Structure 1
Amino acid sequence: MTLPDGTVDPRAKCFYNMKLAESGCPPVQSLTSDDWYVAKIFVELLKVFYNATVTLSGVYYPTSSQAIHQIVEMSDLLNTYREDDMLDPAVVAMETKFKKYWSEMPFLYALGVIVDPRIKLAGLEYLLEFIGNKLSVYYSDQITDIRNKLFKVFSIYERRFSGVDTKPSPEPDTQSLPTSWSILKRRKKGKSASSSSSTTRSAASSSAELNRFLEAQFDADENTENFDLLLWWKTYSYRYPVLSHLACDILVIPVSSVSSEQAFSRSGRIIEPRRNCLTPEMVEVLICVRDWEHARKRMQNEMVDQQFIQNFSNLYVDEGSGSNQDQN
């Protein structure tokens, strides 16, 4: 709809005004600089929520360890535009909805970052404090509850896996472990992992393995993209034999229902009026074969609809694009 110099294409405006006139609607007025500013900011806002949806709907990596980080991104962005007079009504409404869902942090999300050796319990406290300061939500009582539940859950695993052989292991290679996200690097030096775990040591002195993990210092480099959390726990499972079972059980839990909803959608396309005689076994075979084939091609949970993108691109009447001119 825009020309290379950034102005509105008059052909596009004329075309849409003709369509609106046919439907009895008023003609389109030229967008002002304020309109473009609001549109630009809303694209930025929606991009954060879109990225969160795509990230938390993944199937090839743990998502329970990613949830709180996406919430941090959202809270930081909303806080950035809270003082903007033009965006204030929309941002306030978004914050209200945000607090409705995240004023109480799910225990799964908390465990997901606690079992990350780059973050652990001290990092969780700092992240929740960051979110609370941005949106005036206070998690102090929840942090205490999360800490108590953590040791309670670990004690259950400890009783179950108490007979696991614990072989000594070398210290982690500090050069191969990445650092936490940039926000965690701003943590005050006095707020170390030992300060938070020392409080829990008196309440759960028998959980030596968990205390050892919480108090360990894992230095890391700047590379976070290639850090494989499941591989880390597999590598150090003999150092933390009980905690590794707990970590793996937590990390395999998906935080999004997208995959299961897609499975129901696929079954609805298979069981249709023309195929209503399929047996349950045959439906299961068809769904499994399709899923296995997509898994082989790494196409499970595909979020990008190329056909939709192509159709949307054809709506533009930009000079030189040639898409609509060719059709004419």
Structure 2
Amino acid sequence: MLDSALKHQKAFEMLEIQDPKFTEELVEKGKGVPTYMDWEEAQAILPFLKIFYDATLRISGSSYVASNMYMLEVFEIGSQINKMCDSDDAFLESMALKMRKKYDRYWGKIEQLNMLLLISTVLDPRYKLKYVNWSISDNFNSQEAKELKELLETNLYQLFAEYSGVGQGSQRGSQLSLGGKQDRYSYSRFLQSTGSSSSGQTDLQKYLEESIETQFPDDFDILKWWKENSSRLPILAKMAKDLFAIPISTVPSESTFSLGGWVIDEHRSCLTPKMVEALICSYSCIRGSRKSSIIDSLIIEDYNELEKLEQEVAAMKTGDACSASVALDED
């Protein structure tokens, strides 16, 4: 809205001159017409607000993974706010300082950060632990950064141990096996408890020691990447599957409820819950797999065919009515 207003600044200025009622109405509402200073401040704040707008678009999507990007967006916003706090413009500085207080209320304290979202970013092969640690150092002071890095690494290895089954060996007993043989002496449980494997490295160690994926397309599909590497890193693949399913915003759930209102209406109120679930899931699958305009073109083609058929039926009905009228006249 602010962007559109700035594009029509000249129109507003001319309207103020040509239409006295425009000025009178704004004065009556207590706002008054925009001054030159208002336009200057709007122009200055627009690039800063665009950061929030772009971040909202990226993390509010419902057809792609967003949990791996959430903390990166948060850190980027925090970094931009810090830069604005040192601005030479007094207006921008005062606004940035107010935003800094609100930002610190949610993400400024280490104990308030969600470790699962940070781990989700680590499981992105484009970033891994090195980039996340660098981002932490760039957004916190040295002492806080050190504490957060240690906390992140501790939670990462604890979560990996949980998925590896460490501590559950007593429940599994002699069913554990190593190399397809019965594990009589609990050797595989020993390897798990020490964070080792038969090859000397765990999935997590292999993943973190590998180089970061630097050559990737703009439409990089992280779920596809983990699917292709699930046989090589099976435990991490399970972790990624669960962590990437974390909803970041309420947009997908609200969209689902809205879709439910479209499916169940006054003309289709007797559908069974199973049928409603099937319809909603089918729609989600079709929308999620829409990589091009092929489906849209098919829908348009079907609609055109239906419209053509309706026209033919209407013409037939009109022809029948005319025939009937002629027959009555002849009688």
Q: Does 1:206 align with 2:206?
A: no
Equivalence for 2:153: 147
Conserved? CA contact 2:125–2:213, under 8 Å: no
Q: Which residue of 2 aligns with 1:87?
A: 92
In the other structure, the counterpart of 2:53 is: 50
- Aligned to 2:136, which of 128, 131, 145? 128
Q: 2:218 aligns with which of 222, 225, 229?
A: 225
Distance 2:115 2:266 in 1: 43
Q: Which residue of 2 aligns with 1:39?
A: 42
SS in 2 for 1:60: coil
**Contact 1:20–1:27 at 8 Å: present in 2 too?**
no
Structure 1 residue 43: Cα displacement:
2.0
**Who wins on radius of gyration, i.e. which is larger?**
2
Cα deviation code 1:101-136 (max 9, x no counterpart): 112321122111211223222221111111215xx9
The Cα shift of 1:216 comes to: 2.3
> In structure 2, how many angstroms separate the alpha carbons of the residues matched to 1:3 and 1:218?
42
Relative to structure 1, is the Cα distance of residues 281 and 12 closer, same or farther in structure 2, using a 3 angstrom cutoff? Answer: farther
Structure 1 residues not aligned, in runs of 5+: 167-202, 300-328
More helix by share: 2
Find the counterpart in structure 2 of residue 186 from structure 1: none
What CA distance in whole angstroms lies between the structure 1 residues aligned with 2:287 and 2:178? 37
Cα RMSD after superposing both structures: 3.9
Q: CA deviation at 1:292?
A: 5.0
Q: Which of 222, 232, 239 is the matching residue for 1:239?
A: 232
1:138 aligns to what SS in structure 2? Answer: helix
Tell me the CA shift for residue 252 of structure 1: 2.9
TM-score calculated relative to the size of structure 2? 0.63
Letter in 1 for 2:35: L
Task: Work out whether residues 17 and 27 of structure 1, in 8 Å CA contact, stay in contact via their aligned partners in 2.
Answer: no
Report 1:163-312 matches (<5 A): 205-206=195-196, 208-209=201-202, 210-218=204-212, 220-221=214-215, 223=216, 225-267=218-260, 280=273, 284=277, 287-288=280-281, 290-291=283-284, 294-295=287-288, 297=290
State the Cα deviation string for residues 154-201 of structure 1 (Å, max 9, x = none).
1122228987999xxxxxxxxxxxxxxxxxxxxxxxxxxxxxxxxxxx
Secondary structure, counterpart of 2:144 in structure 1:
coil
> What SS does the corresponding residue of 1:49 show, helix, strand or coil?
helix
Match of 1:109 among 101, 117, 120: 117
Distance (whole Å) between structure 1 residues aligned to residue 71 and residue 94 of structure 2: 25
Aligned match of 2:318: none
Alpha-carbon offset, residue 231 of structure 1: 2.4
Alpha-carbon offset, residue 236 of structure 1:
2.4
Q: How many residues align?
A: 259
Aligned to 1:70: 73
| Partner residue in 2 for 1:59 | 62
- Supply the distance in 2 between the matched residues of 1:45 and 1:124 (Cα, whole angstroms): 24
Question: How far, CA to CA, are the matches of 2:57 and 2:291 in structure 1?
Answer: 15
* Residues 133 and 149, structure 2, Cα contact 8 Å, conserved in 1: yes
Classify 1:240/1:267 alpha carbon distance in 2 versus 1 (closer, same or farther; 3 Å).
closer
Which one has more relative contact order, counting CA pairs under 8 Å at least 6 apart? Answer: 1
> Are the aligned partners of 2:136 and 2:145 in contact in 1 as well (CA < 8 Å)?
yes
Partner of 1:318: none
